[in-house]
Structure 1
């Protein structure tokens, strides 16, 4: 197997027949300013293009205190919500000449700290984190070295900056609508009970029931983790216990609903009379025979708010507001 070799500025200088200093001036855009001959400049630039030369980020950092790189830490890469957010944030970074590095924690606190330390070792200028941690102590300590921004989830209480979508108000509105159509039986299926999204969406669920005049029952609340497999298992156990599908169901995230829909499809329940509502929307819900009402986050707005807040902190400026609660909207299909 042929051994590869990354081309360096010294290689370009040698091929062009000039000194390394002259090649550096040309490649850094200062050749004309410092009177390097036009023919020499064109020769150096042509060779750089032909050999796909890229300047070393490490060399750049010797003259610049920033790496022009941001770190994003998410619990699950395949989760539709986190994937959509990552895509929107990467586009913003790319447009601003920044590189986004993305790491996954698999909802594991030990793994989370490992990937965070890995990103810090790569000299990222700031971190955006959807954390699985229950305490902010590690991130408060880390924030003394570089800006840290929480998104989607927050510890309570915390003085760290965060950007999240309001879960309580729109969930209450959606569940009230669901409860008025199926007051006799509405189940809540959530993730880890200690995480803020679960707490907020459960609070919205309870508020929605109260607004509809429906009294909640303890057996209606089912919690596992934010993974499709957990949604599948919880829904399977519920159908087994009831001997039928539930009359109405609210799932607290897109991943949980994915597991529910897989069970429904496998057991030929797509034509059943179940009513489903969920937090988080997916474009494929428009194609299903079951009408699913959702709370839809404004992902571009969420990414823009995170990007603006983090880059403000990286510049050493104080943001006007460091803790932002963004609105969501209802997508009604039923």
Structure 2
């Protein structure tokens, strides 16, 4: 089988009867600017269309010193929220003619460092990272070479560009609304306490309890990992200790809530009087027999802000605030058994 030959600018120039430099100017959108005739521009573009010509990304990157690629690092690509975010960001990149390279850290600092280094070796033009590191020192160094935008999590008092959903006040409002219904206990499931989103949502949870007048009990706090298996295991241990389901439970992520639902389903506990609520929503929650109140973050808005910010930094354009806390909203499904926005 003969190897298919890629159509080049030389081929387009030969077929159009023009020089390579003229063909290059037209195909790169500079023909009119440099006074190439209308007929010549039309002829070159029509031949390029007929021959299905595609410009070489490598050649383009050599001439512009850019790779036209962005790097994205997330802790877990199978997480519903990260999957939605990645899809939205990839669509924005594709529409802008950019390629998005996605890597997963598995909530492991060493794996995250390796993933970031691999993306840098592939000469990405910018990085968007949901980091599990405790310090921004490495990203401060990297930002001297290429733009870095943190999202979903903040690293202490870092001055690096950041896009994140507000979670303290929204969690407080949800917890206060639930705790105010007369419960005597209200448990909290989250991932590692060192991660910023755990600290923020825990602060919101404690504020909510205080606003509702429910005295905080440290035994209600349970830490694991941000995955469904951890949610399942934590609920299994809690159920075994209590001998019943808790009155109310807040999960700091949708993945933890998934694990709790799996345990309830497997042990025929979905119809018990447990009040479930969590950070992150899922469209399937509307189809369950058990109702779940949620804090809803807008992954599309997160993706757009990350894209707009990283693109502006790459182009060295002035942009708005470099640290953005985006609003979240509540879905209170328990209100009279109906979904309330």
TM-score by length of 1: 0.90
- Secondary structure of residue in 1 paired with 2:277: strand
List per-residue Cα deviations over 1:85-105 (Å, max 9, x = no partner).
Answer: 122222332333333222211
Query: Structure 1 CA distance, aligned partners of 2:257 and 2:150?
Result: 25
Q: Is the 8 A contact 2:190 2:253 kept in 1?
A: yes
Q: Indicate the residue corresponding to 1:303 in structure 2.
A: 303
Q: Tell whether the 8 Å contact from 1:182 to 1:248 is kept in structure 2 after alignment.
A: no
Tell me the distance in 1 between the aligned counterparts of 2:31 and 2:167: 55
| Partner secondary structure for residue 313 of structure 2 | helix
Describe how 1:204-219 pairs up with structure 2 within 5 A. 204-219=204-219
2:75 is aligned to 75
Contact 2:61 2:68 in 1 (8 A): no
Match of 1:88 in 2: 88
**Unpaired runs of at least 5, structure 2:** 335-341
- Equivalents in 1 of 2:320, 2:292: separation in Å? 38
CA RMSD of aligned residues (A): 2.5
Secondary structure (helix, strand or coil) at the match of 1:181 reads coil
What residue in structure 1 maps to residue 256 of structure 2?
A: 256
Give the structure 2 partner of residue 108 of structure 1.
108
1:188 corresponds to: 188
What is the CA distance between 1:68 and its match in structure 2?
A: 2.9
Q: CA deviation at 1:196?
A: 0.3
Matched ranges for 1:208-247 at <5 A:
208-247=208-247
Aligned CA distance change for structure 1 residues 178 and 31 (closer, same or farther; 3 Å): closer
Query: Residue 199 of structure 2 aligns with which residue?
Result: 199
Partner of 2:325: 325
CA distance in 2, matches of 1:176, 1:57: 53
Q: More displaced, 227-236 or 139-148?
A: 227-236
Distance in 2, matches of 1:162 and 1:29, equals 34
Residue deviations 1:24-53 (CA, integer Å, cap 9, x gap):
455435668545975x974x6566445543
The within-5 A match list for 1:259-278 is: 259-278=259-278
1:281-304 deviations in whole A, cap 9, x for unaligned?
Answer: 111111111110000012222222
Q: CA deviation at 1:315?
A: 2.4
Count of residue correspondences: 332
Unaligned ranges ≥5, structure 1: none
Q: 1:210 to 1:23 in 2, by over 3 A?
A: same
Q: Tell me, what secondary structure is at the counterpart of 1:63?
A: helix
The answer to whether the 8 Å contact 1:182/1:247 transfers is no
The offset of 1:187, in angstroms, is: 0.7
* Worse-superposed segment, 296-305 or 270-279: 296-305
Q: CA deviation at 1:313?
A: 1.8
Please give the alpha-carbon distance, in whole angstroms, between the structure 1 residues aligned to 2:186 and 2:82.
Answer: 27
Change (3 A) 1:119 1:204: same
Q: Secondary structure at the match of 2:102?
A: strand
Matches of 1:97 and 1:285, distance apart in 2: 35
Contact 2:130–2:152 at 8 Å: present in 1 too?
A: yes
Structure 2 contact 176–211 (Cα < 8 Å) conserved: yes
Distance, in Å, in 2 between the alignment partners of 1:104 and 1:327 is 26
Structure 1 counterpart SS, 2:64: coil
SS of the residue 2:180 aligns to:
helix
